[in-house]
Amino acid sequence: MKKLLCALMALMMLTAFALAEAPSAEVIDRFSDTWVDAGAAMEIWYDADDAAFHCTAVLGDGGDVSDKFEYASCRYDADSDTLICEDGARTHEDHGESTVTDGLTAAVFFADVGDRLIWNDSEGLAQDLRLRRLEDAEATEYAKSLGFAGRWGCGRATIDITVQDDGTFKVFVSWASSAAQSVEWGYACAYDGDSKCLYTCMPGSKAVVTYAEDGDFDSAVTEYEDGEARFRIDGDGMLIWEDAKENAGEGMRFERGIDFGASGSEIRSMNDTVDMNDGEYPASFDRANLSGDALGDVKLYTVDCYDIVDIDQMAVGDTIVVEGESIRIESLEEDEYGHKLVNGGYDAGGCTLSPFSEDNCWMCVEDDDFNTCTERAEVTLTLSENVVFTDGWDIEKDPVTAEGIEAVTAAIQGSENDAFDSHNTTVRLEDGRVVEIIRRYVP
Torsions phi, psi for 90 (to 5 deg): -115, 130
Residue 21 neighbours by CB under 8 Å, 6+ apart: none
Residue 276's alpha-carbon distances to 30, 302, 303, 425, 431, in angstroms, are 77, 9, 12, 16, 9
- Written as tens digits, the pLDDT of the chain (443 aa) is 333 333 333 333 333 333 446 899 999 999 998 888 777 888 899 988 888 999 998 887 545 678 889 998 899 999 999 999 999 999 988 777 889 999 999 999 998 766 789 999 999 988 778 888 877 556 656 656 667 888 888 877 889 888 876 678 889 998 876 657 789 999 998 888 777 888 998 889 999 988 776 556 778 899 999 999 999 988 888 899 999 999 999 888 988 875 444 445 778 898 887 878 889 999 999 999 999 899 999 999 999 999 887 887 777 778 899 998 888 888 888 888 888 999 888 888 889 999 887 778 899 988 767 889 999 889 999 999 999 999 998 888 888 899 999 999 999 999 989 999 998 999 999 998 999 999 998 87
Exposure string of 148-173, with b = 16+ CB inside 10 Å and e = fewer, is beebbbbbbbbbebeebebbbbbbbb
Query: How far is it, in rounded angstroms, from Cα 417 to Cα 423?
Result: 14
Report the DSSP beta bridge partners of residue 132: 36
Report the DSSP beta bridge partners of residue 85: 74, 106
Phi, psi of 132 (to 5 degrees): -115, 155
Measure the CA–CA gap between 229 and 170, rounded to whole angstroms: 12
Q: For the chain, how big is the Rg over CA atoms in Å? A: 33
Lay out the sheet containing 266-267: strands in order across: 266-267, 319-322, 325-328
**Contact at 8 Å (CB) between 198 and 230?**
yes
The total number of residues shown for the chain amounts to: 443
CA-to-CA distance for 343 and 154, rounded, in angstroms?
12
Is-contact 365 353, C-beta < 8 A? yes
What are the counts of helices (DSSP H) followed by strands (DSSP E) for the chain? 5, 32
Q: What is the pTM of this model?
A: 0.43
Nearest Cα to 41, choosing from 202, 157, 280, 159?
202
Which residues face 89 on adjacent strands? 70, 102
**Cross-strand pairs, 133:** 35
DSSP states of 6-50: PHHHHHHHHHHHHSSPPPPHHHHHHH-EEEEETTEEEEEEEETTT
Q: Of 63, 263, 239, which Cα lies nearest the Cα of 153? A: 239
Q: What is d(CA 413, CA 158) in angstroms, rounded to the nearest whole number?
A: 54
